[in-house]
Amino acid sequence: MSGLGRARTAALVTAAGLFVAVGVVLLTTTPWDPLPGAVPGGAVPPDPARDFSPAELARSAAFDAAINPPAYAGLAAGLAVALALGLTPLGARFIGWCTARVPRRTPRLVVAVIAMTTLLWAAGLPFGVWRENALRRYGLSVQTWPGWAVDELKSLGLSWAVWTVAVLLLFALARRFPRYWWTGAAAGGFALVVAISFVYPLVVEPVFNRFSPLPAGPLRSDLLAMADRDGVPVENVLVADASRRTTSLNAYVSGFGSTRRIVVYDTLLESSPARIKSIVAHELGHAKRNDVLYGTLVGALGTSGAVCLLFLALTSPRLRRRAGLRDGDGAPDEREAAADPRSVALLLAAVVVLTQLGGPVQNLVSRRIEARADAHALDLTRDPVTFVSMQHELSVRNLSDLRPDSLEYVLWFSHPGAPERIAMARDWARLHRIPEPPSLRR
């Protein structure tokens, strides 16, 4: 076996070990049963018709029919473009054309990253416009087109920054250690995921929203008191100016340690204090369980395994030939081949495929964690009636899909559907011998 062959075998074994570790962690720590214990009379089945009127169900279905075509088309187009660029000579030729007049390796890599990420962003742009039009028709988006374009350019700029840093580090390792760069890159990928998670609330969130402290008053005092009663240290309660782009409702707990704060959309302040406390209690459940940190560490471990698979893709003679790249297996220019800027196209194609494969697993685990946070909110507020009415309001205002098909549920749902969440609240009421929330159908 050649030197590269031994390195590829080691990378494959390491990837398998890391993914087995991720699988064991997820199987043993995911809250598969967020409401342990037998529900008296049996579990309440999710039933959209019990709490949503025919008009609400019809509007939800119409919005779903409007938003699904751009979602599916955008997903298919993104995959098609990434694979066409990465698994044919098109990507290498495009990068070669973009970098033909760039004299040095590092600037060529930067240009290659910017060119490829911009091309992929541009491929998805028509579907983003299509989606934005649907949001506008149904009143969920109130953003101007110039404002929407600015947000898109901000997202593109962040992609440039993150991908440039990651690719420069990866290709520096590849040039220095052409057969074993995956070891350092796996550790670096782990560290980068953790670092991004920590700096996100401080660096990325302010790029898209302005935050101001919630004025002193009963609501602020009640939210801070609830967090204190829950044993979750919170430094501040902030209001995000979400109303300049959307009418949807949301809140979250952001940051770690001294940076942790409760953030509520200004649109949510229109709701009653009891409903606001119900949704914030859900977010405190995430903070109390350190769900963001847990997700970060598991995601970082999965990223390390994915880096090992990236090494296998980037050093595969068959894939390199398909991508119009040199083989590099034992060749005198092996270091040059390992750090060839034209292989950025193959790298991004592999990342896109791995991301899509990992998405359904992430959603499955996320739905169970969100259900546990719902149970925490019910335990903290002991108010299932308000919880159910809040879920109803969220669903109606956000036009949530109340009857998703199986594919939608697997691909897009990181939270349980509203009928599932409402049914669980009724299960919680039965378990605690509290009157079950009545039907909300008008």
Predicted confidence (pLDDT) at residue 256 exceeds the cutoff of 80: no
For residue 143 the two structure tokens come to 């953003």
Which carries the bigger pLDDT value, residue 191 or residue 40?
A: 191
Residue 347: which H helix or E strand, with range?
A: helix 344-381
Calpha distance 208→84 (Å, rounded): 32
pLDDT at 104 over 60: yes
pLDDT above 70 covers a percentage of the chain that reads: 96
| 337: amino acid identity, one letter | A
Q: Is beta strand 211-213 parallel, antiparallel or unpaired with respect to 236-240? A: antiparallel
The alpha carbon dihedral of 356, 359, 360, 361 has a sign of: positive
The pLDDT of residue 83: 95
pLDDT confidence band for 4 (50 / 70 / 90): confident
If DSSP codes are grouped into helix, strand and coil, which group holds residue 236?
A: strand
Q: Among 40-44, 283-287, 413-417, name the one with the lowest average pLDDT.
A: 40-44
Q: Which helix (H) or strand (E) holds 240?
A: strand 236-240
Q: Which residue has tokens 């949530």?
A: 400
Distances (CA, A) of 104 to 108, 111, 114, 117, 422: 6, 11, 16, 20, 59
Per-residue pLDDT tens for 317-375?
899 999 988 654 434 456 666 678 889 999 999 999 999 999 999 999 999 999 999 99
Q: Is the pLDDT of residue 407 over 50?
A: yes
HSE of 113, CA atoms in CB hemisphere, 13 A: 21
Tokens standing for residue 214: 């919630």
- Distance, in Å, from the CA atom of 342 to the CA atom of 113, rounded to the nearest integer, reads 10
Q: Among residues 64, 283, 334, 427, which one is catalytic?
A: 283
Contact 176, 105 (CB under 8 A): no
Banded pLDDT at 178 (limits 50, 70, 90): confident
Q: Which residues pair with 253 in a beta bridge?
A: 262
Tell which wins on pLDDT, 399 or 258. 399
Task: Tell me the pLDDT band of 118, cut-offs 50, 70 and 90.
Answer: very high
Strand 251-254 and strand 211-213: pairing?
A: unpaired
Was 282 annotated as part of a binding site?
yes
| Sequence-separated (6 or more) residues with CB below 8 Å from residue 397 | 247, 248, 249, 267
Instruction: Say if residue 436 carries a ligand binding annotation.
Output: no
**Calpha distance 110→100 (Å, rounded):** 13
Residue among 56, 374, 393, 420 flagged as catalytic: 374
Residue 10: is its pLDDT beyond 90?
yes
**Is 392 annotated as contributing to ligand binding?**
no
Residue 265 in tokens: 């959309």
**Could you confirm whether 374 is annotated as catalytic?**
yes
Question: Which tokens hold the place of 30?
Answer: 């995911």
List Cα–Cα distances, 397 to 87, 140, 240, 385, 425, in angstroms: 43, 8, 18, 18, 20
Do 275 and 393 form a contact (C-beta atoms < 8 A)? yes
Other C-beta atoms lying within 10 Å of the C-beta of residue 301: 19
Compute the Cα dihedral for 193, 195, 198, 202 and give only its sign: negative
Average pLDDT of the chain is 90
Q: How far apart are CA 238 and CA 278, in angstroms?
A: 17
Structure tokens belonging to residue 252: 């979250």
pTM exceeds 0.85, yes or no: yes
Q: Are 7 and 185 in contact (CB under 8 A)?
A: no
420 counts as catalytic: no
User: Could you tell me what percentage of the chain is helix, strand and coil, using 3-state DSSP and rounding each to the nearest 5?
Assistant: 70, 5, 25
196 pLDDT band, cuts 50/70/90, is confident
